[in-house]
Amino acid sequence: MIEQSFYDNINILECVEREGIKIEILQYKNLRGLRDSRLAENLYNIEKVGMSLKQVKITLQNSSITTEPGALYFHKGNICAECQIGGVGGLAKKLIKNSLTEEAAFNPTYSGTGEIFLEPSFGHFILMELNNDPIIVDKGIFYCCESGVSVEVSSQKNLSSGLFGGEGWFQTKLSGKGLCALAIPVPLSEVLKYELNNERLQVDGNFVFLRSSSIKFTVERSAKKLVGNLASGEGTLHTYEGTGKIWMAPTQSVYKTLGQNYPPSGENIGE
């Protein structure tokens, strides 16, 4: 009865099920647990603008899932956690990854049979199927994936993208075959998707968050600001060339501007 009451308050935004695994994106219909009237106005404003609390749920049946470090909220059933090291060489690579990217060196893998709930968030999640078509995503985009998907570090291939690309020298590369969940910066309805066919895309800003690994990324001087200061990164264009997919969030900068004026009080409810 208690479990049913919980799911009565849940919408399933997206669900993919196959042999051994099911991944769902849950949305809470209502939040009625406030005991402090001072927080009621904040919650009212959140609901008024269409924000909702979401959570990724994974159901395993003798299978496994790899998550972003710190993403676990709780799990139930016969599930064990481990970090894949891959011998001395693998350990060295992961420690180098940690020192270079300032991210956790190990992505935990949960195996067995049961349910896993990841951290609730007011952010935006999508499920994406990879079929041996590697992608490169910004830091913080990867959330979890099936065992058939490999999570690696991708280094920038040239000086300009490393210095002025906005993501530093390293991003996350996802490759292999399987399902993954991504935490995207804006709702899917605000994501603009392009399929480049031996073409070029230039962007004045850092709002491309996903691309095929076949796409070449550089930073070039903008023609409209030839006297701009290249050393500061001003007057530059993010340039993407080749064949493959590009996902961008044109509205992302608007939210960043709003966030500077109204700092968030904390995104994750579970903290």
Q: What is the pLDDT of residue 143?
A: 98
Cα 34 to chain centroid distance, Å, stands at: 29
Most confident of 44-53, 112-121, 145-154, 234-243: 112-121
Q: What is the pLDDT of residues 98-113, one digit of tens each?
A: 555 555 558 999 999 9
Measure the CA angle with vertex 118, ends 257 and 135; round to 5°.
65
Cα separation, 217 vs 196, whole angstroms: 13
Question: Who has greater pLDDT, 2 or 197?
Answer: 197
Q: CA Rg, the chain, in Å? A: 20
Per DSSP, 134 falls in state: -
Q: How many CB atoms lie within 10 A of CB 25?
A: 19
CB 147 within 8 A of CB 34: no
Mean pLDDT on 193-215: 94
pLDDT of 266 strictly over 80: no
- Map out the domains of the chain with their CATH numbers: 2-261 (3.60.160.10)
Query: Distance of CA 246 to CAs 15, 166, 211, 264, Å?
Result: 24, 17, 4, 29
Sign of CA dihedral 87, 139, 96, 118: negative
SS3 state at 88 = helix
Give residue for tokens 């060489």: 89
> Which pairs count as long-range contacts for 40-47, CB under 8 Å and 24+ apart, including other chains?
42/265, 46/122
CB 162 within 8 A of CB 125: no
